Amino acid sequence: MSRISLSRFLIEEQRQHGALPPDLRLLIETVARACKAIAHSVNKGALAGVLGDAGTGNVQGEAQKKLDVIANDILLEANEWGGNLGAMASEEMELPHSIPDHMPRGRYLLLFDPLDGSSNIDVNISVGTIFSVLEAPEGNEQPTEQDFLQPGSRQVAAGYALYGPQNMLVLTFGQGVYGFTLDRELGSWVLTNSRMQVPETTKEFSINMSNQRHWEAPVQRYIGELLAGQEGPLGKDYNMRWVASMVAEVHRILVRGGVFMYPKDARDPGKPGKLRLMYEGNPMAFIIEQAGGAATNGHQRILDIQPNGLHERVAVFLGSREEVERVTAYHA
């Protein structure tokens, strides 16, 4: 049986199912090529001199790694000239990035976290890229920040690249979730995972337990029940996993189930959470729901949240539906 490349898969989706407009297909191929370039830089590591701090900070006030800056620049440069985008927004930049005036503009808006989990770079643990695609308001040739502020339910595509022992690209267009593995010899993404599904039940959870003393009561209750094991109210033993890279956590959930949590905590009561709604919460919620899972902020479906700012934060509970519904009910 012949292997199906990303390009062939996208063309067949466009041709046979009509689920993929041609300009969206070209945009996804451009993002995928950029992710290959980022993978190359990540894989070279110290050999290319890309490890360590960049000596700069991002709009979030976080110290940037050299690869944060490199990955951001790769995505900007790759997507400026294709004619598919009206503007881009990045977790690393305060304001949207406009398409240069001498370049053609398109109907889509691209948002991305260029290198998720960058605290893992220097210790050679998996990191990734997360992206989300929205449609720009019709007739607006100069998209503004306000044009990006759409609920996640209006995403037309989302995905992530995982840079690990195998480099993988996971995509959804609202018609299921598909995974592609990078063939490093041929330089092409090859379809390896069709119609990925999150098991409804699980015995694994992911959370940063060092923050336990700061959590709200519903999360304390839920984690206490997980840790109680067979003797507790849930009647089974759970294993905990924590990679400190959302891409790696979500990929594990897609492959074998689980629940990932990054709740609000008392260290900064004014913030609803730590993760960014537009660059992390929305695209990952879209992927997880398309794979049969669930994603909430503890109170409502993440994809229904109306964003108020480009860098808005959100609490996240996502993964196997049974567990997400349980912890969400405790908040109620």
Give the span between the Cα atoms of 143 and 135, in whole angstroms: 10
Give the span between the Cα atoms of 294 and 302, in whole angstroms: 9
Return the ∠ at Cα 75 (arms to 193 and 101), rounded to 5°.
Answer: 135
Please tell me whether 36 is known to bind a ligand: no
Q: Is 109 among the domain residues?
A: yes
Are 40 and 125 part of one and the same domain? Answer: yes
* Domain termination site, one of 154, 169, 193: 193
Please tell me whether 13 is known to bind a ligand: no
Are 12 and 99 part of one and the same domain? Answer: yes
Q: Is 1 among the domain residues?
A: no
Please tell me whether 115 is known to bind a ligand: yes
Please tell me whether 210 is known to bind a ligand: no
Are 91 and 210 part of one and the same domain? Answer: no
Q: Is 198 among the domain residues?
A: no
Domain CATH number, residue 49: 3.30.540.10
Please tell me whether 118 is known to bind a ligand: yes
Are 132 and 244 part of one and the same domain? Answer: no
Which of 319, 324, 321, 325 lies closest to 258, judged by CA?
A: 319
Please tell me whether 113 is known to bind a ligand: yes
Are 209 and 115 part of one and the same domain? Answer: no
Q: Is there a contact between 321 and 197 (Cβ–Cβ < 8 Å)?
A: no
Q: What is the pLDDT of residue 122?
A: 85
Q: Is 58 among the domain residues?
A: yes
Are 142 and 249 part of one and the same domain? Answer: no
Return the ∠ at Cα 131 (arms to 290 and 6), rounded to 5°.
Answer: 70
* Domain termination site, one of 134, 161, 193: 193
85's torsion region: left (phi>0), alpha (psi -120 to 50) or beta?
beta
The tokens of 78 are what? 């790759």
Task: Give Rg (Cα) of the chain.
Answer: 19
Kindly state the DSSP code that residue 14 receives in the 8-state scheme: I
Are 181 and 103 part of one and the same domain? Answer: yes
pLDDT tens-place values along the chain, 332 residues long = 579 999 999 999 888 877 789 999 999 999 999 999 999 999 988 887 877 776 676 666 666 778 899 999 999 999 999 899 999 999 999 999 999 888 889 999 999 999 999 888 888 899 999 999 999 988 767 889 999 999 999 999 999 999 999 999 999 999 999 999 999 888 999 999 999 999 989 999 999 999 999 999 999 999 999 999 999 999 999 999 999 999 999 999 999 999 999 999 999 888 999 999 999 999 999 999 999 999 999 999 999 999 999 999 999 999 999 999 999 999 99
Give the span between the Cα atoms of 218 and 328, in whole angstroms: 8
Q: What is the pLDDT of residue 2?
A: 77
Within 8 A by CB and 6+ apart from 214, the residues are 265, 266, 267
Are 157 and 213 part of one and the same domain? Answer: no
Are 208 and 188 part of one and the same domain? Answer: no
* Domain termination site, one of 193, 215, 238: 193
Q: Is 181 among the domain residues?
A: yes
10 Å CB burial of residue 4 (0-12, 13-18, 19+) is: middle
Specify the residue for token string 């980022």: 38
Please tell me whether 265 is known to bind a ligand: no
Give the span between the Cα atoms of 106 and 99, in whole angstroms: 9
Are 36 and 179 part of one and the same domain? Answer: yes
Give the span between the Cα atoms of 181 and 188, in whole angstroms: 8
* Stated pTM of the model: 0.95
Please tell me whether 140 is known to bind a ligand: no
Number of structural domains the chain divides into: 2
Q: Is there a contact between 167 and 161 (Cβ–Cβ < 8 Å)?
A: yes
Domain CATH number, residue 291: 3.40.190.80
Kindly state the DSSP code that residue 310 receives in the 8-state scheme: T
Are 135 and 228 part of one and the same domain? Answer: no
Please tell me whether 268 is known to bind a ligand: no
Q: Is 199 among the domain residues?
A: no
Domain residues for the domain of 155 are: 6-193
Are 151 and 235 part of one and the same domain? Answer: no
Please tell me whether 91 is known to bind a ligand: yes
Q: What is the pLDDT of residue 109?
A: 97
Q: Is there a contact between 194 and 157 (Cβ–Cβ < 8 Å)?
A: no
Q: Is 251 among the domain residues?
A: yes
Q: What is the pLDDT of residue 118?
A: 85
